[in-house]
Amino acid sequence: MRFIFIILSSVFFISACVSSETVTTLNNPKGQKMAFDPKGAADTRIKLALVYIENEQMQQAKENLDKALSYQPDSAKVNRIFAYYYEKVQENEKAEKFYKEAISLDDNDGDTYHNYGTFLCGQARYDEADAAFLKAISVPKYTRVARSYANAAICSEKAGANEKAIFYYKYALAHSPKSNEINLSLAKINITEKNYKEAILNLFSFQKASDATAESLWQWIRLSYATGKENSLERYSNQLLTQFPESQQALDYLTNKHHNI
C-alpha cells in the first residue's frame, strides 16, 4: 500500500507541475515571466506519461504524449517515447512509424536504436533487431553498451543462434563484469552448448556476488547432471526444494526437465 501511495503522490506532484507549464517565473523583484519553454513542458509531459504507462493508465499516458508532441514535434525523444507507448498497447504499425521518425530526427541516438531493436526482436525480426542493437552500440556517446549486448544475446537465443548469443553475452559481461544476470544467462547457454568449464566460472562468479536463487540452483542442477556429478546434483536439488519449493524450477526438477540438456 505504501508503494502505491508513493506512486500516486508522484503523479499528483508532476500534475501540479504540468498545470503551470505555460510560463516560468523568473526569480527577480519584479516577478517578470519568461517565455514558454516547449522542451521543458514536453519533458514534464513525458515524465508524467511514463508514470501513467507504468500504472497502466494508458488514456492519460496518451493525452500527455499528445501534448508533448505538440510542444516538440521534432524531438527524437518524444517520438521514441510515443513509439514505446504504442508498443505497450500493441499497435505495432504505429510503434514502428514513431521509431523510424525518431531515428530520422536523430540518427545518433543509441537509446532509440536499442528500443527499436527490442521492438523488432519482439516481432521475431531477428536480423533487423541485431542490426539495431549493433547500431546503438556503435554510437560514440552511448553508455548502456552492456544492456544492448545483453539484449542482442537474448534475441540471438530466440533466433536459435546460440554461438552468436554467447559472443554477445561475453561482450556484455566485459562491459559489466559484476552483472549477476548476465553471468546466469551465460551459464545457462554454456550448459546447453556443453561449454561446462565456462558455465562453472559463470556460476561461481554469480555465487560470489549473490545468494542462491531458484534459477542459479537450477543451473547448478543442470550442470551437475550433465557432468555426472551425483553429489552436487543431490546437494543443489535438496537446496532448491528446501528454499524454493513453490518455484517453477522446483517443478522442473521434480518432472526431470534437467534431463533435457
Closest by alpha carbon to 95, among 72, 71, 65? Answer: 65
Q: Indicate if the pLDDT at residue 23 is higher than 60.
A: no
- Give 138-149 as a DSSP string: HSTT---HHHHH
Per-residue pLDDT of 85-108, as tens digits, reads 999 999 999 999 999 999 999 999
DSSP SS3 for 31:
coil
pLDDT, the chain, mean:
88
Buried residues in 151-173 as b, exposed as e (16+ CB within 10 A): bbbbbbbebebbebbbebbebbb
C-alpha cell at 53: 504507462
What's the gap between Cα 4 and its chain centre? 22
pTM for this model (two decimals): 0.80
C-alpha cell at 35: 517565455
Amino acid 25: pLDDT: 39
Amino acid 38: pLDDT: 81
Amino acid 103: pLDDT: 96
Report H helices in the chain. Answer: 2-19, 38-54, 58-71, 76-88, 92-105, 110-122, 126-138, 145-158, 162-175, 180-192, 196-209, 214-226, 230-243, 248-254
Q: Indicate if the pLDDT at residue 59 is higher than 90.
A: yes
How many other C-beta atoms are found inside a 10 Å radius of the C-beta of residue 60? 16
With beta carbons less than 8 A apart as the criterion, state whether 205 and 183 touch. yes
With beta carbons less than 8 A apart as the criterion, state whether 222 and 261 touch. yes
Q: Indicate if the pLDDT at residue 226 is higher than 70.
A: yes
**Which residue has better confidence, 17 or 30?**
30
